[in-house]
Amino acid sequence: MASYPGSETETRLSYGVLHTVCRDIFAACGMGASDAALLADTLVAADLRGVHSHGVLRVPDYVGKLLVDGVNPRGRPQIVSETGGALVVDGGNSMGQIGSAFAMRAAIAKAKETAVSVAAVRGSNHSGAMAYYAMMALPEDMIGVATTNALPTMAPWGGIDKILGINPLGIAIPAAAEPPIVFDAAFSASSHGKIRVYHQKGFPIPEGWAFDAAGHPTTDAGAALDGLLQPIGGYKGTGLAVIMGVLSTFLAGASFGTELGNMVDGPKSGADGHFFLVLNVRAFVDPGLFKQRVDAVVRQIRTSRPAPGAERVYAPGELEAETERRYRAEGIPLNAETLRGIRAMAARVGVEARGIPEPPAGTG
């Protein structure tokens, strides 16, 4: 889902206000101006699409990574190996968004020469929503694929030990007149960040999202944060999580599963890995014709008869695109705890939180 309970009654802020304050916070943590702007953009872009689990609620986490946890605010990613269309990138222990955007740009440039390119990344950190990187390929009439490892929050099917990350997959496919097809999801029923949003607001989570620490299904967000995320599709979800984890780590020499760290102590700095794949549509078929066919698919999905209880049917990414249009016009709804977190981090690093209101006492 691209929204959360109560989101329509929360404080609404513009992209510009949020981006400016977040950028200034990250710059005050030692990041260069362009890197701080990019990091801020990845977070606010997620909020714009209604994906608040990967939005500005993570500002306190990221400040902690930069000031306490050993992430290098001025780490410089670089290509360390190049064979045909295959690239290996070392993120230089930079913020994951910096290494990921660097790798995706390099893969896009390489795909112009080789039709298909892959960038495997090591020496990185948490990189946020995968759709951001997959969508970087769209203006070039290319298909973007992005995946990453994650801290272990799932058990292998039939177990109760946290061994697997939810290891999300993002794919973006260009369209002509219609919104592009964009899929971005982890292989758990919900992300840890989304459960955090529910916990912040005091809402129970939907059934089927999580287990408690003993492996029993729960709708208590707090118990879920201490427990296990449920995989999508049973064994299929854990199997896909294993595959995405291998792609994201083994090819570049990054850390897999429990090697990365845990949810109590946090990830090891510079241990993350990512995987990016770019397909140059022009190498296979005329891009104009391809995008027209994508438009036809989107329209066919949209005109499908809705099932009982559904208002309408959306193509992948269409709901997020509509949310972005609405939030750009009306502002991004943020809960009180997220606003407090941003204001607290601004104060911590000596930045003015201009345009970020102080929530009323007692609001969640």
pLDDT in tens, 6-50: 444 589 999 999 999 999 999 999 999 999 999 999 999 999 999
Residue 67 lies in a domain: no
Query: What's the pLDDT at 20?
Result: 98
Rounded-to-integer distance, Cα 281 and Cα 108, Å: 12
| Cα distance between residue 89 and residue 99, in whole Å | 8
Q: pTM of this prediction?
A: 0.93
**Number of H-type helices and E-type strands within the chain:** 11, 14
Region 175-198: mean pLDDT is: 91
Query: Apex CA 60: angle with CA 126 and CA 246, to 5°?
Result: 15
Residues 313-332, mean pLDDT to the nearest whole number: 97
Task: Flag whether 41 is in a domain.
Answer: no
Q: What are the backbone angles phi and psi of residue 78, rounded to the nearest 5°?
A: -150, 155
**Is residue 209 a part of any domain in this protein?**
no
Smallest CA-to-CA distance from 179 within 316, 356, 308, 53 is with 316
The pLDDT value given to residue 188: 94
CATH of the domain at 130: 3.30.1370.60
Q: Residue 99: which domain range? A: 75-188+231-325
Domain contains 144:
yes
Round to whole Å and give the CA distance between 272 and 90. 10
Specify the residue for token string 């294993």.
242
Higher pLDDT, 359 or 170: 170
% of the chain beyond a pLDDT of 90: 90
- Give domain status of residue 277, yes or no: yes
pLDDT at 354 over 60: yes
**What is the chain's length?**
364
What mean pLDDT, rounded, does the chain reach? Answer: 94
Q: What is the pLDDT of residue 329?
A: 97
Q: How many domains does the chain have?
A: 1
Quote the CA–CA distance of 35 and 32 in Å, as a whole number. 5
Percent helix, strand, coil in the chain, to 5, is 45, 20, 40
Say which residue the tokens 């977070």 belong to: 43
Question: What does the pLDDT look like over 247-306, one tens digit per residue?
Answer: 999 999 999 999 999 877 888 999 999 999 999 999 999 999 999 999 999 999 999 999
pLDDT tens for each residue of 58-93 = 999 999 999 999 999 999 999 999 999 999 999 999
Sign of CA dihedral 281, 285, 288, 292: negative
Domain membership flag for residue 115:
yes
pLDDT at 1: 40
Decide if 135 is inside a domain. yes
Rounded Cα distance, 261 and 267, in Å: 4
Residue 2: which pLDDT band, with cuts at 50, 70 and 90? Answer: very low
Rounded-to-integer distance, Cα 49 and Cα 129, Å: 11
23: its two tokens = 């950028």
CA gap 274, 17 in Å, rounded:
30
Residue 296 structure tokens: 């036809």
pLDDT, tens digit, for every residue of 211-241? Answer: 999 999 999 999 999 999 999 999 999 999 9
9 in any annotated domain = no
Task: Calculate Rg over the CA atoms of the chain.
Answer: 20
Helices (H), 81-190: 96-114, 131-134
- Residue partners of 281: CB distance under 8 A and separation at least 6: 141, 142, 143, 174, 287, 290
